[in-house]
A and B are shown apart, each in its own frame.
Chain A
Amino acid sequence: MSSPMRGYPRADGRKGIRNVVAVAYLVECAHHVSREIVASARDGDVHLIGFPGCYPNAYAQQMMEKLCTHPNIGAVLLLSLGCESFNKFSLADIVEKSGRPVHTLTIQNDGGSLKTIKAGQAWVQEQLAALRDAPTVPMAVEELIIGTVCGGSDGTSGLTGNPAVGRAFDTLVSAGATCIFEETGELIGCEEIMASRAVTPELGDELRASVAKAATYYATLGYGSFAPGNADGGLSTIEEKSMGAYAKSGSSPISGIVKPGTVPPRGGLYLMDVVPDGEVRYGFPNISDTAEIVELIASGSHMTLFVTGRGSVVGSAIAPVIKVCANPDTYRRMEDDMDVDAGRILEGAASLDEVGAEIFELIQSVAAGAQTKSEALGHREFILTYKSFEPAGPACLPS
């Protein structure tokens, strides 16, 4: 058993399992300056996030607000070029009201690249020193929010890794924790069995509608959420991939549907609806696995369970990623990237329950401070692009 979990207390009552300084660029033009600031602080928990677009987008603005006030964040440096549309004033105000140190540098006003980099590096060092002795308080399993994604799926994902995560989710939900699974584009074909697990018939209708929206959206774009590597790994159709992906949700009742950035109101199992509302615009709902991880984090996930068969290597800025490897051959080939060897279930060396229990234990030790493989390797991937959402319907969240 790991050491007891402790969290960094935040003004909104949530607790963080990390104390990260976020350096956020608010347009691609400020990306390089931000990267230089982060690169000078490799030894500290300083993570690069940002939004590249110059045009305003309500979704991106809200995502950045939620990410910069995530419980794992201790301080925020905002990098503006100066002429972009992003509302840095509103973002800085929200971060300040959350009780976190925040500072904005504007490259056009602060003397250009070099002077801004120097000023940013100095501010980050001050924050790292101040955060070093930040107090922690005891944290319980029921305070955790855990997200799950799968990526680089193959024919083993739905046999080992995904159902093992489902067992861990069942344990978490019965302990009062909050679990979020996704994504509706990879639940096509599962809508009826999923709807049958909804806590109300109205929520069941919303679950069906969310998958129907995803099917229409992807059909319009001409491709499903299915990569050529999925077929190399033995998956033939999106429905087959979906059935495997669905197993990540476990068997608990489904309490609600959240959209990216909505923090579930209480413990239970939630579906994240990542497919934009309205007419198809801006392109694919999630252009890569990292986009889904970032959305789970924006909804408050302290960490993400990532099931892979082919072998993903990504981690994430802000919140740790636990890599669950479904395929024993992939595990042997890429052991340095994998936290859990779920493929041994196929070889008769462990049961689904045993691997599920191992994942539950690992979640607690990572929450207590143990580094995941991707964290130790310095994987801090991040991506945020344009989307548009409408507010969720009244049946989507428990009252």
Chain B
Amino acid sequence: MTDPRLLLLSPQDNILVAREPIPAGEAVVVGDHPVTLAARLDRGHKIARQAIRTGEKILKYGAPIGSATQAIAIGDSVHIHNIKSDYTATHVIAKPTTEAKP
């Protein structure tokens, strides 16, 4: 039984979305797999619901939202470090480490 803090938006999805922030090191259950979060998972961020191969489509709302750029293990964070757009590249700016997080 998946942790109730993780939302499955569509049965085809290979990711889950955090309904609320979950601290690093916390043990959560994904499907029937116990995993330990390597880093804090912020609200609205994603983790893998299953093992995902390099190049595989990421499915959210049952629709592809990009492709994996590396192998992703179940319970790993799924974000700009390991997936990419199939349309236009995602633009981010490097932040000074001192910036307060909202």
Write the residues of chain A forming the contact surface with B, with a CB cutoff of 8 angstroms: 154-156, 158-159, 188-190, 193, 215, 218-219, 223-224, 226-228, 231, 233-240, 243, 309-311, 327, 329-330, 333, 346-347
> Please, which residue of chain A has its CB at the minimum distance from the CB of B41?
A234
> Please, which residue of chain B has its CB at the minimum distance from the CB of A155?
B44
Contact with A along B37-60 (1 / 0, CB 8 A): 000001111100000000000101
B71 at the interface (CB under 8 A from A): no
Known: A234-B43, A236-B83. A223 touches B65 (CB 8 A): no
Among A224, A235, A310, A347, point to the contact of B88 (Cβ < 8 A): A224
Known: A243-B60, A309-B44. A238 touches B83 (CB 8 A): no
B74 at the interface (CB under 8 A from A): no
Among B20, B43, B90, point to the contact of A236 (Cβ < 8 A): B90
Interface CB pairs A-B, < 8 A, 23: A155-B17, A189-B64, A189-B65, A218-B88, A223-B91, A224-B87, A226-B88, A226-B91, A228-B91, A231-B80, A231-B92, A235-B44, A236-B46, A236-B83, A237-B80, A237-B86, A237-B87, A239-B65, A239-B85, A240-B60, A243-B63, A333-B102, A347-B20
> Please, which residue of chain B has its CB at the minimum distance from the CB of A345?
B19
Known: A159-B17, A193-B63, A231-B80. A224 touches B90 (CB 8 A): yes
Q: A215-B87, A226-B91, A309-B44 are in contact. List 20 more A-B contacts (CB 8 A).
A: A154-B44, A188-B87, A219-B87, A223-B88, A224-B85, A224-B88, A224-B89, A224-B90, A228-B91, A231-B92, A234-B17, A234-B43, A237-B84, A238-B85, A238-B90, A240-B60, A311-B102, A327-B43, A330-B102, A333-B102
A156 to B44, Cβ gap below 8 A?
Answer: yes
B85 to A234, Cβ gap below 8 A?
Answer: no
B92 to A228, Cβ gap below 8 A?
Answer: yes
Q: Which residues in B have their C-beta under 8 angstroms from that of A311? A: 102
How many residue-residue contacts, CB under 8 A, span A and B? 108
Count chain A CB atoms within 10 A of each CB in B46, B58, B60, B93 and give the residue with the most.
B60
CB distance from B4 to the nearest CB of A (A): 10
> Please, which residue of chain A has its CB at the minimum distance from the CB of B65?
A240
Among B44, B64, B85, B88, point to the contact of A159 (Cβ < 8 A): B44
Known: A224-B90, A239-B86. A189 touches B63 (CB 8 A): yes
> Please, which residue of chain A has its CB at the minimum distance from the CB of B42?
A234
Q: How far is the CA of A226 from the CA of B102 in the complex (A)?
A: 19
Interface residues on B, range: 20 to 34
B102 to A234, Cβ gap below 8 A?
Answer: no
Q: How far is the CA of A231 from the CA of B90 in the complex (A)?
A: 8
Contact with A along B2-27 (1 / 0, CB 8 A): 00000101000000011110000000
Q: Which residues in B have their C-beta under 8 angstroms from that of A215? A: 87-88
CB distance from A159 to the nearest CB of B (A): 7
B90 to A226, Cβ gap below 8 A?
Answer: yes
Q: Which residues in A have their C-beta under 8 angstroms from that of B18? A: 155, 234
Closest 6 interchain pairs by CB? A155-B44, A224-B88, A240-B65, A237-B85, A234-B44, A234-B45
Among B42, B43, B90, point to the contact of A237 (Cβ < 8 A): B90
B93 to A228, Cβ gap below 8 A?
Answer: yes
B78 at the interface (CB under 8 A from A): yes
Q: Which residues in A have their C-beta under 8 angstroms from that of B80? A: 231, 236-237
Q: Which residues in B have their C-beta under 8 angstroms from that of A190? A: 63
CB distance from B68 to the nearest CB of A (A): 11
CB distance from A95 to the nearest CB of B (A): 40
Count chain B CB atoms within 10 A of each CB in A190, A224, A234, A236 and give the residue with the most.
A236
A236 to B19, Cβ gap below 8 A?
Answer: no
Q: How far is the CA of A219 from the CA of B93 in the complex (A)?
A: 19
Q: How far is the CA of A218 from the CA of B88 in the complex (A)?
A: 8
Q: How far is the CA of A330 from the CA of B101 in the complex (A)?
A: 12
B63 to A239, Cβ gap below 8 A?
Answer: yes
Among A218, A234, A329, A346, point to the contact of B46 (Cβ < 8 A): A234
Q: Which residues in A have their C-beta under 8 angstroms from that of B93? A: 228
Q: How far is the CA of A158 from the CA of B45 in the complex (A)?
A: 12
Q: Which residues in A have their C-beta under 8 angstroms from that of B46? A: 155, 234, 236
CB distance from A352 to the nearest CB of B (A): 13
Count chain A CB atoms within 10 A of each CB in B7, B64, B84 and give the residue with the most.
B64
Count chain B CB atoms within 10 A of each CB in A223, A234, A347 and give the residue with the most.
A234
> Please, which residue of chain A has its CB at the minimum distance from the CB of B57?
A239
> Please, which residue of chain B has its CB at the minimum distance from the CB of A247?
B61
